[in-house]
Structure 1
Amino acid sequence: MNRTLLGLAAVAIAGFGVTVPATAAAATADYGPDTCRQGYVWRAARPADRVCVTPGNRDQTALDNSVKRTRWTSGAYGDHTCLTGYVWRGAFDGDDVCVHPKVRGQAAADNAASPGRKVAAKVWISKYTTSSTGTTDDIPKLKINGSHFNYGQIKLYVRYNGSNRIAYQVLINGTNHPGFDGGSFGRKTGLFDCSGPGKPANAYAQAHDLVSGRWSARVPIRIGCAVL
């Protein structure tokens, strides 16, 4: 029975034109903003469905799609009225595939959780001081923060505009921190914050998720504290 279910799932997935295997996840390559974190795959309830779910939930979705015609009957909701014991899945607007009620609940839960399962590669800058009054330790320094990365290696860069000359780089690990989705981090760079009136950004910070290949957006900063 298990082999039959897996076979049906494989056929249904192939019918959507999804070429990544169920166990591979979109997280093994950069698929843009819809890249799933490692351990999740696209649900593929329809070709455009990029909700990130567990491989088991995608297999269930494919199986339900493959047998949908056997669960429809003519009734109060037209030709796609569900047989007794089934309900419309509702994975997207207009999704009338009939499933067990618990599957509909899972689809709703996956829809809500999906944004936190994607490699959004969010990066922002905060400042800190080592505070010794009257010394350069009072000058704010830059800290690079990030969330929505994979759990694993992330490379941080600070580069100067134009030349892309590297001012700072370090290899870190994205780890779990309460309140932040996916692999997250906060790294003190030791670089002085040299921003101020008439001092526009002359560099940028950026993070590279090495698991998926995804890059964050470039975050403008001012470093050097001198006219370049």
Structure 2
Amino acid sequence: MLTRSGRLAAMTASGCLALSVLGATEAGAETAQFAPDTCASGYVWRGARPSDHVCVAPSVRDRTQSENASGVWHACTTGFVWREAYPGDHRCVVPGSRTQARRDNASAAHRLAWVVMVKRNHSGAGPSCDGETCSTTNEGPYQTVGVRGYYLTPGTSVTVQVRRPSDDRVLWQTRTTARSGGNGPAGSYSVDTGRVLCGGSSFTPPLTAYVVVRGDGGQWSPRVPIAWRSCNLL
């Protein structure tokens, strides 16, 4: 699990994250990939520039868009200051807007809803594979693909989908609810797809699908590419 200090140390000046980590949890070793830039329920990307994915209230996003469209760049008149939402942001705004940008940057790590791919351990035989088709039995240990997410508002309804990249066809989906006191900070969810892992982890090439989630009908998260092979439990 990434600690608070670890999250903050990984942040850029604009508050965005870009990292993959290996994690371990209560069910034994699990491979986890964190998809950055997914906002918790109630927040949206600020958009001070195209790569500015700091999560803010919708009203702040709207004000930022207005400032970008009409604000003066660099040469501020009396009563205006540089916004400084990111390094080099010399958009001239009222002092309160700069204060808001600094506050949002400082809070960015606590407004993210992570997408995490994990291995679920089960009792049963490990898979045997012939090319991309694998099978296993319930006579020994085996693993399935799981999905987790953190930093959601408790009570948020979450939709989880596995899709095919070629046509975005939904291969698997479920709905769950983020709950407090679970396996992670703030509201978190954890689901098991039931898909048996064959020939490696969720990230062993070829990566034939991707996972996306969204909370309460909001924006879909960034895509997390995974392996989604044909594998039967006998």
What TM-score, normalized to structure 2? Answer: 0.47
- Radius of gyration: which is bigger? 1
What TM-score, normalized to structure 1? Answer: 0.48
Q: Which has the higher helix share?
A: 1
